[in-house]
Amino acid sequence: EAEQDLKDKHVLITAGPTIEAIDPMRYITNHSSGKMGYAIAKDAVSRGAKVILVSGVTQLECPEGVERVNVKSARDMYEAVHQHFEWADVVIKTAAVADYRSKAISEHKIKKDNSHLTLELVPNPDILQSLGEKKTHQVLVGFAAETQNVLEYAKEKITKKHLDFIVANNIAEDGAGFKGDTNIATIIESSGAVTAYEQMSKLQLGHVILDKVKAYL
Ligand code: PMT
């Protein structure tokens, strides 16, 4: 049995993609499988934490002992996360949230007529940033999915979203990012400290992240 070094800590994790409806049959989403967030949830619960997992639509089974809250859109996720924010000692935002949604959701299937169709997109709320602005005692951890200038963009997100640290991954790299069972990450802390990790399983990376969280509790 794992050491109970997070005993009774309240850990709120988000995982998976959001889906943003266009009409009754179509939506906007991304490649997130949820594996990274579910792996962190599994490790946290094995270390004695109480875990709430706010999950977008995934194919994954909920890890035993984890309380899952299912959501679809970014706005659903926003509501669910804010609902549990006071409860949380730690928030880890692994979810790949759609930055934009369709301005209108058509009640009926949009029919084709062979001319161009323009979809107007409007920005979704930034969930993590909104938490950063109201945080009190919580340790706040973000993820950064990038394909270029990984460290630079990740650092900007730490400041903008008031994070304690961020886990950056290059989603264009083999063995990292979406869908697979492994990831390659760099942790950047608000102090400026940067630690790059070798490729490892998402479960191992979850353990590394939670070790880092412990130092902030
Ligand atoms: O699910 P898997 O298939 O295992 O893949 C894992 C992963 C690639 C999804 C994961 O490792 C990862 O990188 N997650 C972050 C994806 C993302 O949306 O990154 P971002 O750089 O666009 O966002 C930065 C941070 O802000 C993230 O913590 C995100 O949850 C948060 N955010 C973003 C937009 C928004 N509107 N609200 C948010 O809270």
Topology of domain 10-102+121-216 in CATH is: Rossmann fold (3.40.50)
Which pLDDT tens digit goes with each residue over 130-162? 999 999 999 999 999 999 999 999 999 999 999
CA of 145 to the centre of ligand 1 (A): 6
51, 11 in Cβ contact below 8 A? yes
Ligand 1 atom with the smallest distance to the CA of 144 is: 21
How many other CB atoms are found less than 10 A from the CB of residue 85? 17
Q: In the chain, where are the structural domains located?
A: 10-102+121-216
Q: Is 125 annotated as a binding residue?
A: yes
**Half-sphere exposure in the Cβ direction for 94 (13 Å, CA):** 32
User: What pLDDT band is residue 23 in, cutting at 50, 70 and 90?
Assistant: very high
In the reported structure, the alpha carbon of residue 15 is separated from the centroid of ligand 1 by a whole-number distance in angstroms of 8
* pTM, entire model: 0.97
Task: Write out pLDDT tens, residues 173-185.
Answer: 999 999 999 999 9
Verify whether residue 70 is a known catalytic residue: no
The string over 175-190, giving b where at least 16 C-beta atoms fall within 10 Å of a residue's C-beta and e elsewhere, is ebbbeeebbbbbbbbe
Nearest ligand 1 atom to alpha carbon 168: 13
CA of 105 to the centre of ligand 1 (A): 24
Q: 30, 70, 124, 169: which one is catalytic?
A: 30
- Of the chain, the percentage scoring pLDDT greater than 90 comes to 99
Is a pLDDT exceeding 90 seen at residue 1? no
